[in-house]
Amino acid sequence: MSIDWKRFTELIHAHQRFVLTSHIRPDCDALGSELGMAAILRSLGKDVKIANGHATPPNLAFIDPRSEIRVIGQTITAEELADRDLLMILDTSAWAQLGAMSEVVKTTSAKKIVLDHHVSEDDLGAENFKNTTAEAAGRLVVEAADALGVPLTAEIAFPLFAAIATDTGWFRFGSASAGTYRMAARLIEAGIKPSAIYNALYEQDTIGRVKLRGEILARVEALLDGRLVHTYVLKEDFTKTGANAADTEDVINMALGIAGTQFAVIFVEQATGGFKLSFRSRCAVDCSKMAEKFGGGGHKAAAGAFVAGELAEVQKQVLDAVLAAMQ
Ligand SMILES: [Mn+2]
C-alpha cells in the first residue's frame, strides 16, 4: 500500500492548529514519530500540540528533552485541544490503542488523519495514510518531510532516528532494508549522533540489574542437547543485588542467544511466594498454549503464567510439560 503524499501535503497546508497522538504504552517509534512530525509542522509555521493516552516511560524521556508530549487528563485537558483543526494519529490505527485519547478522537470536530504502518480494520473516522510495508512509522514521517519539502534538521532527525532504530531492533530485524540504512544515513547527515541515542536507549543499566543478570545467567541449564534452556531467580536475589522485579525482563532473551536453543523458561520467585514463569520459543512449541496449561497466556513466541509452590516442584511440573511438548 503506498501513500498519496500529494493529498497528505494538501491537508497539511489547509490546516493550522494540529494535535498529534499515538498509542498507549508508547514506544520510541510512537514518541519519535510525534516529535519529528511536530518539528516538521512547526518549521511550516503550524501550531502543534502532542497528547497521548499514557505518559512517556522514564527510560524514554531522553527523546523529549523539552517535555512537549502531554498526557490527556493529566498534563493537558480535552478543552485545551478543542481549537485544533487537524488531529493526526501516528503509529497506530486501532481504537484499543488510543486509551484515554479515544474520547478526543471520537468527539473532535477536527479533520482526522492516520499515518501508520500497522494492519488494522478499525475505522477511526480518519483519512488513512498507511504503508504496512514500512519498517517504522518514523520512516513515514521522514517521507512526509520530503513530500512537504522540509529539510531534515538535527531536531527533526534525532527523534526519527530513534524511532526507526528501535522499531528495527537497532537495524537488525528482517524489516531493516537497504532503504532503512540509506534513511539512517540521511538522518545522521542532518547532524545527530547514533552513539548518543544507543547509549540513552541501551546503556542505562543499574549495577543491581547487571549483578542480577549475572546470577540468573550463572544458573542457566540445558536439556534436550541444548534445545531447552531454563533458569530461575529467587526472592533473596533481589535483596542481594538491589535489583527489582522488572530487572528480570530480557534475561530470558539472552538465554535464547545460546546456539541451538529453541525454547527458554525462566522461573521468577514472587514476593508473596510462588513463581512467575516466562516462556520464549523459536520452534513449533506455542508459548501461549504452554502458558494456558498453567492458567496464563500470551503469544506464540512469548508467554507467561504463575505457579504456586516450591522451586523444585514447580520446575519439575513445568519442565515435564515442556519436555513432553518438545519430544
Ligand atoms: Mn511502529
Q: Ligand 1 centroid vs 136 CA: distance in angstroms? A: 5
Q: Ligand 1 centroid vs 167 CA: distance in angstroms? A: 6
pTM value is: 0.88
Q: Ligand 1 centroid vs 98 CA: distance in angstroms? A: 14
Residue 327: per-residue pLDDT: 85
Residue 1: per-residue pLDDT: 66
Q: Ligand 1 centroid vs 176 CA: distance in angstroms? A: 13
Q: Ligand 1 centroid vs 30 CA: distance in angstroms? A: 6
- Give the separation between CA 136 and CA 131, rounded to whole angstroms: 10
Q: Where are the domains of the chain?
A: 5-202, 208-326
Kind and range of the H or E element at 255?
helix 251-255
5-202 shares its CATH topology with 208-326: no
* Cβ neighbours for 276, distance < 8 A, ≥ 6 positions apart: 267, 268, 270, 304, 305, 306
Residues in the chain with pLDDT values less than 50: none
Q: Grid coordinates representing 228?
A: 531447552
Q: Ligand 1 centroid vs 32 CA: distance in angstroms? A: 10
Residue 2: per-residue pLDDT: 87
CATH class of 5-202: alpha beta
- Give the separation between CA 34 and CA 296, rounded to whole angstroms: 35
Q: Which residue type sits at 103?
A: E
Q: Which of 101, 168, 173 is nearest to 139 (CA)?
A: 168
* CATH number for region 208-326: 3.10.310.30
Q: Ligand 1 centroid vs 166 CA: distance in angstroms? A: 9
Q: Ligand 1 centroid vs 21 CA: distance in angstroms? A: 13
* Cβ neighbours for 228, distance < 8 A, ≥ 6 positions apart: 222, 261, 262, 263, 264, 265, 319, 322, 323, 326
Q: How far is CA 63 from CA 29, 30, 36, 52, 159, in A?
A: 11, 11, 10, 15, 6
